[in-house]
Structure 1
Amino acid sequence: MRKRFAEPKDHWNWPIKVTHKQGVRCGQMIWMGGQTDTTAEGIVNHPGDLARQTANSIANMGRVLGEIGCDFADLVKLLCFYVNDGGVQEADVLAMIAAALPRDARPAITLVPVAWLCYPGMVVEIEGYAMRGEDDARLPRSYADGTGLSPLPPAFAPALRCGRMIFVSAQSPVDAAGHLLHAGDIVAQTKQVMQQVGRALGAFGADYDDVVKINRWYVGAGKVEDFEPAALACAAHFKEPGPAATGVPLPRHAIPGQQIKIEVVAMLGEDGQRLKRRHVWPEGLWDWTIHLPYHHGLKCHDMIFLGGQVSLNQKGETIHVGDMQAQTRQAMTHIGTILKALGADYRDICKITTVYAGKCGYDELHENLSVRSSFFQEPGPATTGIPLPVLAYPAMSIEIDAFAMAEPDR
Structure 2
Amino acid sequence: MTLGVWKLPYGRPHEVVGLAGGLAFVGGAGDFDSTGAIRHTGDLPAQLDGALDNVEAALAVEGCDLADAVRIKLFYTSDVGMTEWEIIAAVHRRVGEQPAPAVTANPVPLQPFDGQCVQIQVIASKGWRDGGDIRVAAEHVPADMAALFDVPKVTRGLRAGEFFAVPGRTAADAGDDSVPTDDGIEQTHIVMKRLKDTMAELGAGFQDVIKKEGYYFGTTMEQWAGMAATRASYFREPAAVATVVPCHRLFPDAAVTKVEVLGYREEWNGFDKYIPREDTWPKRVWDWPISVPYRQGSRLRGAIWTGGQVPFEPGFNGGQPVYPGDLVRQTRFTMSYVDDILRGFDAVSSDLRLLVCYFTSDGSQAMTERFLDAVADCLAGPLPPITCVPQTHMHSEDMTVEIWGVAKG
CA distance in 1, matches of 2:342, 2:84: 36
The aligned residue for residue 248 of structure 1 is: 245
Displacement of 1:22 in angstroms is: 0.3
Flag the 1:251–1:13 CA change in 2: closer, same or farther, 3 A. closer
1:160 aligns with 2:158: yes
Distance 1:286 1:64 in 2: 35
Amino acid at match of 2:391: L
* More moved, 77-86 vs 392-401: 77-86
> How far apart are the structure 2 equivalents of 1:150 and 1:295?
37
Matches within 5 A, 1:383-398: 383-398=386-401
Q: What SS does structure 2 have at the residue aligned with 1:158?
A: strand
Residue in 2 aligned with 1:3?
none
In the superposition, relative to structure 1, how do residues 160 and 231 fare at CA in structure 2: closer, same or farther (>3 Å)? same
Residue 192 of structure 1, aligned match among 178, 190, 193: 190
**1:10 to 2:5 alignment:** yes
Relative to structure 1, the CA distance from residue 105 to residue 200 in structure 2 (aligned partners, 3 Å threshold; closer, same or farther) is closer
Q: Does structure 2 retain, via aligned residues, the 8 Å contact 1:223–1:392?
A: yes
- Letter in structure 1 aligned against 2:375: R
Write out per-residue CA displacement over residues 123-151 of structure 1, whole angstroms, 9 at most, x where no aligned residue.
11011110026xx9944552333259999
SS in structure 2 of the partner of residue 305 of structure 1: strand
Q: Provide, for residues 226-266 of structure 1, a one-character-per-residue CA deviation record: whole Å limited to 9, x for no partner.
A: 21111111000011221101111111212121111110011
Instruction: Determine if contact 1:149/1:158 at 8 Å carries over to the other structure.
Output: no
1:30–1:378 distance in 2 versus 1, CA, 3 Å? same
What corresponds to 1:206 in structure 2? Answer: 204
| TM-score (normalised: structure 1) | 0.90
Residues 190, 330 of structure 1: CA spacing in aligned structure 2 closer, same or farther, 3 A cutoff?
same
Structure 2 SS opposite 1:216: strand
Tell whether 2:251 aligns with 1:257.
no
Q: CA, structure 1 residues 149+300, in 2 after alignment: closer, same or farther (shift >3 Å)?
A: farther
Q: 2:220 maps to which residue?
A: 223
SS of equivalent to 2:138: coil
Query: TM-score, structure 2 length as denominator?
Result: 0.90
Taking the aligned partners of 2:62 and 2:378, their CA distance within structure 1 comes to 24
Letter in 1 for 2:301: H
Question: Alpha carbons of 1:137 and 1:240: their partners in 2 closer, same or farther (altered >3 Å)?
Answer: closer
- Structure 1: segments with no counterpart, 5+ residues: 1-6
Cα distance per residue 1:168-189 (max 9 Å; x no partner): 1111212230332333211111
Residue in 2 aligned with 1:39? 33
Q: Which of 363, 374, 377 is the matching residue for 1:374? A: 377
Q: Aligned to 1:157, what secondary structure does the other structure show?
A: strand
Distance 1:144 1:102, change over 3 A: closer
Aligned to 1:4: none
- Unaligned runs of 5+ residues in structure 2 are none
Seen in structure 2, the aligned counterparts of structure 1 residues 156 and 59 have a Cα distance that, compared at 3 Å, is farther
Counterpart secondary structure, 1:206: coil
Paired residues of 1:35 and 1:61 also in contact (CA < 8 A): yes
- Structure 1 residue matching 2:212: 3-state secondary structure: strand
Partners of 2:358 and 2:190 in 1: CA distance: 26
SS of the equivalent of 2:267 reads coil
Secondary structure class of the residue paired with 2:28: strand
1:276/1:301 contact within 8 Å kept = no
RMSD of aligned Cα (Å): 2.4
Residue pairs, 1:10-409, within 5 angstroms? 10-18=5-13, 20-85=14-79, 89-103=83-97, 106-132=100-126, 138-140=130-132, 142-146=134-138, 154=151, 156-220=154-218, 222-271=219-268, 272-313=272-313, 314=316, 315-406=318-409
> How far off its partner does 1:27 sit?
4.0
Q: 1:373 to 1:8 in 2, by over 3 A?
A: farther
Give the distance between the partners of 2:171 and 2:206, measured in 1 at CA: 18
DSSP 3-state at the match of 2:358? strand
* CA deviation map 1:2-46 (0-9, x unaligned): xxxxx934313333113x200013442111111101233332222
The percent of aligned pairs where both chains have the same amino acid is 26
Q: Which amino acid aligns with 2:170?
A: S
- What is the rounded CA distance, in whole Å, between the counterparts of 2:67 and 2:20 in structure 1? 18
**Whole-angstrom distance in 2 between the partners of 1:148 and 1:245:** 29
Instruction: Kindly indicate whether the alpha-carbon contact (under 8 Å) linking 1:352 and 1:400 is maintained by their aligned counterparts in 2.
Output: yes
Q: Displacement, 1:87? A: 8.1
Q: Cα gap change, 1:105/1:120 in structure 2, threshold over 3 Å: closer, same or farther?
A: farther
C-alpha spacing 1:99/1:141, structure 2 compared with 1 (3 Å)? same
Q: In structure 2, the residue corresponding to 1:270 is in which secondary structure?
A: strand
Amino acid at match of 2:90: M
Equivalences, count: 396
Query: Given the superposition, is the C-alpha separation of residues 74 and 223 from structure 1 closer, same or farther in structure 2, using an over 3 Å criterion?
Result: same
